[in-house]
C-alpha cells in the first residue's frame, strides 16, 4: 500500500555550469558562494531572532492570561455570562497560544468546562442567574442537548436564565429556548429550519484523475464509500439518513416546544415559513421570543433582576473565569471514578491525537492497575476507523471490565468502530441525538492505473509468488484477489457482530437485524437494545458509582492528562507544518490531495460511520 508515495523535499538548487573555468569566473563563483552563505546565515539569524520574539510574546500572553485567571474574584450578585462562539469540543487545553497570538479567531470551548461552570453557578450563592449570549458557534446536536440539560437543571435552583442575541442560529435558539426570557435585537434574525443532510460525492472527480475505488463491504447500510463510488445516495442510505435526521429533529422540536409552551406541530409549521427571513414581529407573534430589545436595554433588564442601579456595572463571570472559582474542598479519597475521554478517529499508533490503539490500551491499563479507581466512565466521541485498532481497544476494555465497572457515555457519536469499543461495557448511556450503531465494516482499496495512464507512466512487476504484489495500486484486483478480500471482510464483520452480541447479551441473529451498517440515534438505539439509558456524562457517572457501590462518597478525575500550553507550543506536530506548506502550494487542490492520501493510508479494513453526514 505504500509503494506509490509522493515525497516533498526542499533543498538549495545546484547550478552546474559547463563553461571554461577561467580564473575570473572562479573568483566570481566563490564570491557568489560566499555571499549566498553569508546571506543564508544572516537570514537564519533574523528568522531565529523573530521566532524568539514571537515565542516570548506568546509566553507573555499566556502568563498574562494565567495571572488574570488566578486573580479573578467572584463578586456577590453576579451572573454567569455564557457566551458561545467558536467550536465546542469535548474538552480543551487551558488555552491555545497560537490562536491567542493571531487574534480575531474564536477559541474553542470545552464541553466539560461549560458544564462545570453551570454546575458551579447553580451551587454558588454569589451567582444569581445566567446571561446566555449565543453567537456564531459550532456544536453537534448531542453536545447542545448536554448543555441544555444542564441549563434545565440550573433552573431548579430558582435562579434566572435570560437569553439575548442579535442573531440566533438554530443551535443557539435551541439553547436559548430554555431561558425564562428570550430577547432579540429589533433588527435581529432567528434561524429555525429543521434538519437536512447534504453529503458530497467525489466519484466523477476521482474518475477525472483516473482513480478507481475498489470496494469490499458487509452491510446494506454501510455507506462510507458511497461518496467515492457513486454520484448520489443509495436507497438504503437515503432511508437511514431520513430516519436519522427525522428523529434528531423530533428531539429538538419537542424540547423547544416544551420550553415555549407550544405543540411540536407548531414548531414544524414555523420552520416551514423560514423565520430566518421574517421580521421580529413574526417571531413575537409565533411565541419564539418574549421581547425585542437593544443590548443596552437587555442589560438594564438584568440590572433590575439583580436589584442594582441602572448605571452600575453588572458583576459577571465567564466560563474561563469560573475555572478558578473554588468548590467545596475535595478530601483525598481512595474511591475515585475515572472519566476517560476518547475523541476522534480510531487508528493504529501510539500518539495522543485521536484514538490511537497503543496509546489508549496503555491508558486503560493504568486505570486497571490503579487500586484507587473503583469504576471507569468511558466517554466516546468517534465515528470509528481502523477495525484492527478497535479490536485492540475492545480487548483492553474487556480486561478492565473484569476488575471494575465500565460505563460508556456516548457523546456526539459512537458509531461503527466507536460502537465496537463501547459494546462490551457494563452499561451504555447516550444522548437522544447521539449517532450510534453502524455495525458493519468495509475495505476500500484505490486503483491508480488510470492516473498512471493519464501521466504516461507504466508499471511492471517481477515476483516470486502468486500474491507477492497483492495491494499493488497500479492495477485492479483480479477476480481471485477480489474474492479473497471480500471473504476477509465477511469474516471481520462476523467478528464485529459477535463482539456486539456478546457485549449486549443478545443473540447474533437478533442483533443482525439492527446491524448491516445502519446508523441509529440514541433514542432509536435504546428502543432496540444497543443503548441502556438516555442522558449525559453525569448520568453515566452516577451509574458507574452505583455499579461500584460507592454511594455518594467518590471523586471524579479526567484522563488522559491534557497538555499544558507550553507543551502544546513545543509539541506542535510536524505533519501540521507540512500540511500548511502543502496547502500554500496546492491551493484548492489541497483537499483532493488529502482525500487521496487518506484513502491510501487507511488500514485495509475499516469500521467507520458514513463518510460525511453533513447534517445542518
Q: To which residue does cell 445502519 refer?
A: 518
Q: What is the predicted pLDDT for the residue at 223?
A: 83
Is 222 annotated as catalytic? yes
- pLDDT of the residue at 442: 81
Span 550-569, average pLDDT:
76
375: its cell numbers: 469504576
Distance CA 109, CA 96 (A): 10
Residue 352: predicted pLDDT = 82
**In which band, very low, low, confident or very high, does the pLDDT at 513 lie, cut at 50, 70 and 90?**
very high
Q: Is the pLDDT of residue 610 over 90?
A: no
Q: In this predicted structure, what is the pLDDT of residue 17?
A: 30
Give the residue from 538, 530, 493, 502 showing the smallest Cα distance to 514. 530
pLDDT at 557: 93
- Torsion over CA: 202, 205, 207, 213 (sign): negative
Kindly list the distances between the CA atom of residue 70 and the CA atoms of 66, 94, 318, 551, 563, in Å, as whole numbers in the listed order.
6, 13, 13, 34, 19
Quote the pLDDT of residue 371. Answer: 93
Smallest CA-to-CA distance from 159 within 306, 309, 326 is with 306
Active-site residue, from 78, 251, 345, 416: 416
Residues 6+ apart with CB under 8 A from 480: none
Q: Which helix (H) or strand (E) holds 70?
A: helix 23-71
DSSP string of 325-392, one letter each residue: S--S-----S-EEEEEEEES-EESSS-TTTEEHHHHHHHHHHHHH-TTEEEEEEEEEE-EEEHHHHHH
DSSP H or E run through 316: strand 316-317
> What's the whole-number average pLDDT of the chain?
82
List of residues 6+ apart from 135 with CB closer than 8 A: 83, 84, 85, 165, 172
**Contact status, residue 234 vs residue 203, Cβ threshold 8 Å:** no
Tell how strand 441-447 and strand 212-218 pair up.
antiparallel
Percent of the chain's residues with pLDDT above 70 = 77
Average pLDDT estimate for 511-522: 93
Q: How many CA atoms lie within 13 A of 218 on its CB side?
A: 22
Give pLDDT tens digits for 165-191: 999 999 999 999 999 999 999 999 999
What predicted TM-score, i.e. pTM, was given to this entire model? 0.80
Catalytic residue selected from 222, 374, 427, 526: 222
Closest CA to 176 of 151, 209, 210: 151
For 308-363, what is each residue's pLDDT tens digit? 998 899 999 999 999 888 876 555 567 899 999 999 889 888 888 789 999 999 99
* Residue 13 designated active-site: no
Reply yes or no on whether the pLDDT at 538 is more than 90: yes
User: Would the pLDDT of 9 be above 50?
Assistant: no
101 has a pLDDT exceeding 80: no
Average pLDDT over residues 517-527: 95
Give me the mean pLDDT over the 224-240 stretch.
90
* Cell numbers describing residue 360: 489508549
pLDDT of residue 292: 97
461-481 pLDDT, tens digit per residue, is: 999 999 888 888 899 999 999
Task: Check whether 420 has a pLDDT greater than 50.
Answer: yes
Over 90: is that where the pLDDT of 284 sits?
A: yes
- Among all chains, which residue has been given the C-alpha cell 443478545? 506
Please compute the mean of the pLDDT values over residues 410-425 and round it to a whole number.
94
Q: Is 261 exposed, middle or buried (0-12, 13-18, 19+ CB in 10 A)?
A: exposed
Q: What is the secondary structure of 544-580 as a DSSP string?
A: HHHHTT-TT--EEEEESPPPPHHHHHHT--HHHHHHH
Average pLDDT value for residue range 269-276:
96
Phi, psi of 414 (to 5 degrees): -145, 75
Q: Which of 5-19, 191-205, 384-398 has the lowest mean pLDDT?
A: 5-19
Amino acid at each position: 500500500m505504500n509503494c506509490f508515495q509522493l515525497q516533498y523535499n526542499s533543498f538549495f538548487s545546484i547550478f552546474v555550469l559547463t563553461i571554461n573555468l577561467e580564473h575570473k569566473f572562479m573568483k566570481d563563483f566563490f564570491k557568489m558562494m560566499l555571499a549566498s552563505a553569508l546571506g543564508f546565515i544572516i537570514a537564519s539569524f533574523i528568522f531565529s531572532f523573530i521566532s524568539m520574539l514571537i515565542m516570548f510574546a506568546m509566553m507573555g500572553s499566556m502568563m498574562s492570561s494565567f495571572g488574570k485567571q488566578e486573580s479573578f474574584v467572584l463578586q456577590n450578585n453576579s451572573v454567569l455570562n455564557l457566551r458561545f462562539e467558536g467550536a465546542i469540543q469535548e474538552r480543551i487545553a487551558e488555552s491555545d497560544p497560537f490562536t491567542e497570538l493571531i487574534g480575531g479567531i474564536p477559541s474553542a470551548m470545552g464541553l466539560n468546562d461549560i458544564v462545570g461552570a453551570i454546575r458551579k453557578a447553580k451551587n454558588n450563592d454569589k451567582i444569581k442567574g445566567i446571561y446566555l449570549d449565543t453567537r456564531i458557534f459550532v456544536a453537534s446536536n448531542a453536545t447542545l442537548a448536554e448543555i441544555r440539560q444542564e441549563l434545565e437543571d440550573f433552573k431548579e435552583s430558582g435562579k434566572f436564565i435570560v437569553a439575548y442575541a442579535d442573531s440566533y442560529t438554530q443551535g443557539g435558539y435551541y439553547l436559548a429556548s430554555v431561558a425564562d426570557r428570550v430577547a432579540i435585537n429589533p433588527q435581529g434574525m432567528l434561524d429555525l429550519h429543521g434538519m437536512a443532510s447534504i453529503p458530497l460525492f467525489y466519484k466523477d472527480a476521482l474518475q477525472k484523475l483516473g482513480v478507481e475505488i475498489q470496494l469490499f463491504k458487509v452491510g446494506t447500510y454501510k455507506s462510507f464509500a458511497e461518496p467515492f463510488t457513486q454520484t448520489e445516495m443509495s436507497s438504503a442510505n437515503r432511508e437511514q439518513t431520513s430516519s436519522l435526521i427525522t428523529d434528531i429533529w423530533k428531539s429538538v422540536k419537542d424540547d423547544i416546544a416544551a420550553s415555549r409552551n407550544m405543540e411540536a406541530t407548531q414548531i414544524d409549521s414555523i420552520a416551514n415559513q423560514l423565520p430566518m427571513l421574517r421580521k421580529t414581529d413574526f417571531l413575537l407573534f409565533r411565541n419564539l421570543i418574549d421581547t425585542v430589545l437593544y443590548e443596552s436595554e437587555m442589560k438594564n433588564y438584568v440590572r433590575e433582576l439583580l436589584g442594582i442601579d441602572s448605571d452600575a456595572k453588572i458583576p459577571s463571570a465567564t466560563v474561563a473565569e469560573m475555572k478558578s472559582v473554588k468548590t467545596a474542598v475535595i478530601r483525598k479519597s481512595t474511591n475515585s471514578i475515572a472519566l476517560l475521554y476518547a475523541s476522534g478517529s480510531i487508528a493504529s499508533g501510539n500518539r495522543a491525537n485521536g484514538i490511537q490503539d497503543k496509546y489508549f490500551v496503555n491508558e486503560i491499563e493504568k486505570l486497571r492497575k490503579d487500586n484507587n479507581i473503583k469504576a471507569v466512565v468511558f466517554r466516546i466521541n468517534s465515528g470509528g476507523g481502523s477495525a484492527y485498532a478497535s479490536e485492540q481497544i475492545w480487548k483492553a476494555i474487556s480486561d478492565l471490565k473484569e476488575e471494575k465497572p465500565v460505563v460508556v457515555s456516548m457523546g456526539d457519536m459512537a458509531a461503527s468502530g466507536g460502537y465496537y469499543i463501547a459494546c462490551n461495557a457494563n452499561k451504555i448511556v447516550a444522548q437522544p441525538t447521539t449517532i450510534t450503531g453502524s455495525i458493519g465494516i468495509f475495505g476500500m482499496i484505490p486503483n491508480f492505473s488510470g492516473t498512471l495512464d493519464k501521466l504516461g507512466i507504466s508499471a511492471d512487476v517481477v515476483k516470486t509468488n502468486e500474491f507477492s504484489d497483492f495491494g499493488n495500486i497500479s492495477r485492479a484486483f483480479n477476480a481471485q484477489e477480489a474474492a479473497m478480500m471480500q471473504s476477509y471482510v465477511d469474516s471481520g464483520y462476523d467478528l464485529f457482530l459477535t463482539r456486539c452480541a456478546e457485549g449486549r447479551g443478545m443473540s447474533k441473529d437478533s442483533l443482525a437485524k439492527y446491524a448491516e451498517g445502519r446508523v441509529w440515534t440514541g433514542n432509536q438505539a435504546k428502543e432496540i437494545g444497543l443503548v441502556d439509558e438516555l442522558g449525559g456524562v453525569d448520568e453515566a457517572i452516577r451509574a458507574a458509582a452505583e455499579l461500584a457501590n460507592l454511594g455518594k462518597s467518590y471523586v471524579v478525575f479526567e484522563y488522559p492528562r491534557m497538555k499544558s500550553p507550553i507543551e502544546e507550543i513545543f509539541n506542535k506536530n510536524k505533519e501540521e507544518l507540512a500540511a500548511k506548506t502543502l496547502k500554500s502550494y496546492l491551493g484548492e487542490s489541497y483537499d483532493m490531495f488529502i482525500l487521496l492520501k487518506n484513502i491510501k493510508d487507511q488500514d485495509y479494513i475499516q469500521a467507520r460511520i458514513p463518510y460525511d453526514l453533513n447534517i445542518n
